[in-house]
Amino acid sequence: MSSSVIRILSKSQYFLLVQYVLKMFYVICYI
């Protein structure tokens, strides 16, 4: 059960990282 929680946390963290990278890429392209 704890391993699944860790997996969900890492997945959400990875999603936030991807979202941040896409935002930075969009800003660079926009400029």
- How many domains would you assign to the chain? 1
Q: Which domain holds residue 27?
A: 1-31
Mind listing the pLDDT tens digit for each residue in 1-31?
577 877 777 888 889 999 999 999 999 998 7
CA 18 – CA 31 distance, rounded (Å): 20
Per-residue pLDDT, 1: 57
DSSP 8-state secondary structure symbol assigned to residue 31: -
Q: Name the residue type at position 4.
A: S
Q: What is the pTM of this model?
A: 0.55
Per-residue pLDDT, 6: 72
Per-residue pLDDT, 10: 81
Per-residue pLDDT, 28: 92
What does residue 26 show for φ and ψ, rounded to 5 degrees? -65, -45
11, two tokens: 């997945």
Q: Name the residue type at position 28.
A: I
